[in-house]
Amino acid sequence: MEGRTYYLAPLAGYTDVPYRLACRKMGCKYAYTALIDSGALVHGNPDNDSILQRDASEPWLGVQLLGSIPEDIAKSTEMLDAMDYDEINYNLGCPMQKVIKRPAGAGLLKECNQEIAFSCIKEMRKRVHGKPFTVKLRILDFNDPEPTVQFCLKLQDLGVEGIAIHGRLAESIYSGPVATGVIRAVREALGVPVTANGGIYGIEDANALHEATGCDRLMVARGSLGNPWIFRELEKGCKCPPTHEELCDTMEEHIMGMVPIYGEKKAFLLARKIIVAYIRGRGYSKEFRVRSTFVSGVDEFQRFVADLRQAGPVCETANLSSAH
């Protein structure tokens, strides 16, 4: 809606080029790559290319870095700064246990690990030139804004130029209420832009998050899974779900776009969860949800889409709005 800026969040395992292009066609102007691990980048992990790829048509793209070893952070930041991105973001929000235990992501929000985070941010700040340097984090306390406010003020003092806050604790992962009061307190205390993140699955959620936090910058994460049309809804300010034909066309283009990037075998291992996301909760037969978890190649997928096109939703009047 007018006056607001919507961002597609960095989603590990999802927001590659085909995913972003599906969202771009529905109005998404600002997006991030999936997170890239600093160690993997420095040591040349073969997955780096698919994560870092940028399509020539993309208008604005940020990249997100994960890590906690200052030496790797320094080297990887220099590498990213030389690449074609519009923003470099540091991840302090990943809630996965394997990340937290390293410690990295949200694990660096623990008081005993905060100095590691600050050291990494200092290394990044020295090496990001000519583009914004930002941080994405989670709240530190659900009820008391002060710990999160103080942490963010420290980030601002270190030269961070923007902060995105997921209004949940790390242990909540992606469920439960969003601490909008904490996000508002951070926005009111800081002089840099603050982006609110958490729980946007449609225009009503976006309106509520905007009103509760006062943030004009809002980030869409899991609400985009199998639902690129969320950006059309947010731009128009009203519900506008896909038709059956539009859903099939978009899903087919998205999934087929993964094949030249990953190769057929790997593409469909990655694509199964995306296919499920597209059809879940939209009135399609359970048969298709089951079949989607076993699709393993181009021919099989094209038969799947052809059958889905012909069958349509189980109920002719099914609402194709996302039920995610």
- Domain spans of the chain, in order of start: 5-236, 244-311
- CATH number of 5-236, picked from 3.40.50.620, 3.20.20.70, 3.40.50.720, 3.40.50.300: 3.20.20.70
Q: Characterize the bridge pairing of strands 217-220 and 5-8.
A: parallel
How far, in whole angstroms, is CA 249 from its chain's centroid? 23
- pLDDT tens-digit map of 129-168: 999 999 999 999 999 999 999 999 999 999 999 999 999 9
Q: How far is Cα 34 from Cα 45, in angstroms, rounded to an integer?
A: 15
> Percent of the chain, pLDDT > 90?
96
- Find, among 247, 236, 306, 309, the residue nearest to 281 by Cα: 247
Q: How many other β-carbons are positioned within 10 Å of the β-carbon of residue 150? A: 12
Angle at 258 between CA 252 and CA 264, to 5 degrees: 100
Instruction: Count Cα neighbours of 66 within 13 Å in the Cβ-side half-sphere.
Output: 25
pLDDT-derived band at 320, boundaries 50, 70, 90: low
- pLDDT tens-digit map of 53-92: 999 999 999 999 999 999 999 999 999 999 999 999 999 9
Q: What is the CATH number of domain 244-311?
A: 1.10.1200.80
| 195 DSSP β-pair partners | 164, 217
Q: Is 121 left (phi over 0), alpha (psi -120 to 50) or beta?
A: alpha
Mean per-residue pLDDT of the chain? 96
Angle at 181 between CA 177 and CA 182, to 5 degrees: 90
Predicted local confidence at residue 317, as pLDDT: 43
Q: How many other β-carbons are positioned within 10 Å of the β-carbon of residue 293? A: 10
The answer, yes or no, to whether residue 183 has pLDDT greater than 60, is yes
Predicted local confidence at residue 314, as pLDDT: 85
Helices (H) and strands (E) in the chain, counts: 15, 9
Cα–Cα distances in angstroms (integers) from residue 194 to residues 168, 197, 211, in the given order: 15, 10, 14
- Find, among 67, 51, 148, 62, the residue nearest to 109 by Cα: 148
pTM, rounded to two decimals: 0.95
Q: Characterize the bridge pairing of strands 30-32 and 5-8.
A: parallel
> Percent of the chain, pLDDT > 70?
97
Contacts made by residues 57-60, CB under 8 angstroms, sequence distance 24+: 57/21, 57/24, 58/20, 58/21, 58/24, 58/31, 59/24, 59/29, 60/29, 60/30, 60/31, 60/86
Side chain identity, residue 221: A
- pLDDT tens-digit map of 284-294: 999 999 999 99
Predicted local confidence at residue 319, as pLDDT: 53
Cβ distance 112 to 99 under 8 Å?
no
Cβ distance 106 to 94 under 8 Å?
yes
Q: How far is Cα 30 from Cα 88, in angstroms, rounded to an integer?
A: 13
